[in-house]
Amino acid sequence: MTKHFTWYEFDKSIEYIASQCKFWKLSGIYGVPRGGLCLAVALSHKLNIQLIEKPSKNSLIVDDVFETGITLSNFKHIEGAKFFVLVSKKKPIWWNTVTLSHKKEWIVFPWENKKNIINEENEYKIKRGLK
């Protein structure tokens, strides 16, 4: 099962996240490479908050997908950090999300290389025993 996340959905997500974050006292926005970078840049412009090279105290840390939690958990210890993802495959506990997705759903974001999608989806399914 594949979902194509569109630029329109991305733009609406930026609006939603910005509305949720506008009263937070943030020191900067950090995008987890590579999936969180587009999101971080767009939010940096929208909220007029500095894009930072590494997460720091009171920063907003963003990524495209929360699947296993391993990636964002690496930053969970940062004091005052807030977390947002475009899509979460688990019900959020200490992070925020725009959309919930089924754990078997393969998400294709608009910035991804369309030529690599089939191979990446197959690798994803093999790694998770879905194929």
Q: Give the confidence band of 117 by pLDDT, cuts at 50, 70, 90.
A: low
Partners of 83 in beta bridges: 61
Greater confidence (36 vs 121) lies with 36
pLDDT single digits (tens) 36-49: 999 999 999 999 99
DSSP letter assigned to residue 27: S
Does domain 2-127 bear CATH number 3.40.50.2020? yes
Q: What is the pLDDT of residues 49-82, one digit of tens each?
A: 999 999 999 999 999 999 999 999 999 999 999 9
> How far is the C-alpha of 8 from the C-alpha of 31, rounded, in Å?
20
* 72, 63 contact by CB (below 8 A): yes
Cα(104)–Cα(91) distance, integer angstroms: 14
